[in-house]
Amino acid sequence: MRSFIPFSVSLASTVLVAALVAASVQIPGFTQALGVEPNQVDPPGRGWGEWQPIGSVRQANFNSGFSETEVNGVRELQALCASVSGQPIDAFPNWFRLSTLLDQVGTGQVEYGCWIDGRFAYTIINTAVRSDWGNIEQLLVDVGSGNNLVVYTEPTVDASAIGLVENGEIVTPSSFPALIVQNENRNWMYLTAPFEGWILQGPIGGQSNLRLSDRP
């Protein structure tokens, strides 16, 4: 059976605005580099923007913290980071970065990190949404004139096809935040209309096959 990596789920309607949401996942292998910024040690990879200081979070136009697990995670992260650094608990997380999916379909990811003595001690990746786009109920298929996308029973090209959606057609995500998984180096989104199934949003870090219907 294939292994899928989900990063967004159907959640309660209450959206928590998170300036500090994280949990404790240790990132090994970073070399101590005093005076070095995070982007020098961990430059943006496929599908990610640059690391930003946590003081910029309010200007970043996103919401996070959609579950009790995520909200409680900040307490674990802060406690761990304070313990290893000897700094106040509210000093962490002190850096964050956003996935490019936020600017493509409105749902994506935020990664929070504890940057201590020139390395990331702990980070976590949580679901995030664009706060200035509102509740996104529909998306537009944008694959070029004459092209179409297949809707599958599972998030893989090896699954059975349910139907086709054409360029310019409107599709309905199953929830907001959208349910998206990563598999086969691709992002897949779950739809309820015009077919219920998985559609290829696009390659990780690449151009999106879907966009907000009222955006160019």
pLDDT of res. 6:
55
Under a CB-based contact definition with an 8 Å cutoff, are residues 66 and 177 in contact? yes
For the stretch 118-156, pLDDT in tens is: 999 999 889 999 999 999 999 999 999 999 999 999 999
**Could you tell me whether strands 107-116 and 119-130 are parallel, antiparallel, or unpaired per DSSP bridges?**
antiparallel
Domain borders along the chain are 5-130, 139-212
Residues in the chain: 216
Domain 139-212 has CATH 2.30.30: yes
Report residues of the chain scoring pLDDT below 50.
1-5, 7-33
Task: State which H helix or E strand residue 36 sits in.
Answer: none
**The pair of three-digit structure tokens given for residue 61, joined into one six-digit string:** 């136009």
- 144-151 long-range Cβ contacts below 8 angstroms, 24+ apart: 149/199, 149/200, 149/209, 150/199, 150/200, 151/191, 151/195, 151/197, 151/198, 151/199
57: closest CA among 95, 24, 89, 25? Answer: 95
* CA distance linking residue 204 with residue 48, whole number of Å: 9
3-state DSSP: the chain helix, strand, coil percent, rounded to 5?
Answer: 15, 35, 50
Say if CB 38 and CB 208 are below 8 A apart: no
Distance CA 43, CA 55 (A): 19
User: Which residues, other chains included, contact 145 with Cβ-Cβ below 8 Å and sequence gap of 6+?
Assistant: 167
